[in-house]
């Protein structure tokens, strides 16, 4: 597949889980990276910028003159700031609009915006694709859907080369946001049982950090992105029972009890990857068993890694 040169890359949310991994990967490849995050000290190699401040975003983009922007700066999941819905909206929607507008004015060659599979919500069942009608369940999902619409608007009306990438549940060493997977692993390593409110057949959608980074970079380097929205996931989901079985291959003494009798959330069973493979040239490489082994290894080396 034809690939474009990234040139200088601006990454927002560069102190976050995905943003930091992108910075590390690109700099290891000799790419010039401008790394930005809200309130970040310049001494740490990060440019401070609040994306809800349009003037600050314009100044940062104008001053750094990037050829590519990968916009990771956002509220990172429905479990974060759930009691502050207006702030979620300001950060995820207004912040994205500020980045797109600054990119338009500066003539940035490509903008990639991190979105989420949560836009599909719980009303869509089976394997869904990007043409499935989104049905977000919460403000977080709705805010990401609105950010996608901003991408589409700037792309169609102003010719901005931009795309939104719908990422599923990203896991891996270094994640700081508490998750059920983290709780399960910590309990297992500590010899403690874990009780899940769900059922063994409830579907999960885990995507290893390296694949999330790889998908975003494929979107940033694709010669052309034929679609404004693409799924970057592992395709079909994995039942919770299979997640537990995979972890038991590494931690055989894992103790898990399922207390749920009804589905906690009805959700898609998987996300079609056809558009992603054709338009971005991306396919995930890290299976769950390999990914979970890497996390456990990292936790054993440094218990505070998650």
Which residues have a catalytic role annotated? Answer: 140
Beta bridge partners of 166: 115, 231
Q: How many Å apart are CA 169 and CA 204, to the nearest integer? A: 8
Contact 73, 103 (CB under 8 A): no
Please give the biggest Cα pair distance in the chain: 57
What distance in Å separates the CA atoms of residue 28 and residue 64, rounded to the nearest whole number?
Answer: 20
In order of 65, 158, 210, 212, the CA distances from 22 in angstroms are: 19, 28, 9, 9
**CA neighbor of 299 nearest in space, from 211, 171, 207:** 171
Sequence-ordered list of residues with C-beta below 8 angstroms from that of 19, at least 6 positions apart, any chain: 11, 12, 13, 35, 37, 70, 72, 73
């Amino acid at each position: 597949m034809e690939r474009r040169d990234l040139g200088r890359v601006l990454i927002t949310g560069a102190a976050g889980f995905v943003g930091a991994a992108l910075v590390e990967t690109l700099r290891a490849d000799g790419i010039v990276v401008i790394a930005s995050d809200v309130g970040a000290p310049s001494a740490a190699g990060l440019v401070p910028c609040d994306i809800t401040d349009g003037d600050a975003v314009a100044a940062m983009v104008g001053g750094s003159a990037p050829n590519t922007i990968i916009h990771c700066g956002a509220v990172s999941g429905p479990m974060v700031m759930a009691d502050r819905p207006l702030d979620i909206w300001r950060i995820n929607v207004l912040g994205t609009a500020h980045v797109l507008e600054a990119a338009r004015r500066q003539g940035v060659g490509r903008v990639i915006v991190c979105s989420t599979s949560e836009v599909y919500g719980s009303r869509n069942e089976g394997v869904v694709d990007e043409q499935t009608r989104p049905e977000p369940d919460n403000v977080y999902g709705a805010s990401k859907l609105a950010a996608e619409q901003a991408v589409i608007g700037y792309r169609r009306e102003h010719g901005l080369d931009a795309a939104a990438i719908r990422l599923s549940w990203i896991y891996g060493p270094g994640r700081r946001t508490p998750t059920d997977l983290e709780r399960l692993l910590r309990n297992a390593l500590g010899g403690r049982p874990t009780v899940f409110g769900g059922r063994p057949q409830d579907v999960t959608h885990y995507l290893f950090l390296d694949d999330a980074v790889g998908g975003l970079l494929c979107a940033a380097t694709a010669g052309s992105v034929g679609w404004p929205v693409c799924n970057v996931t592992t395709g079909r989901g994995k039942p919770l029972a299979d997640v537990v079985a995979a972890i038991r291959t590494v931690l055989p003494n894992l103790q898990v009890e399922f207390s749920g009798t009804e589905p906690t959330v009805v959700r898609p069973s998987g996300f079609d990857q056809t558009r992603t493979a054709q338009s971005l040239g991306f396919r995930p490489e890290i299976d769950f068993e390999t990914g979970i082994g890497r996390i456990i290894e990292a936790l054993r080396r440094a218990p505070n890694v998650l």
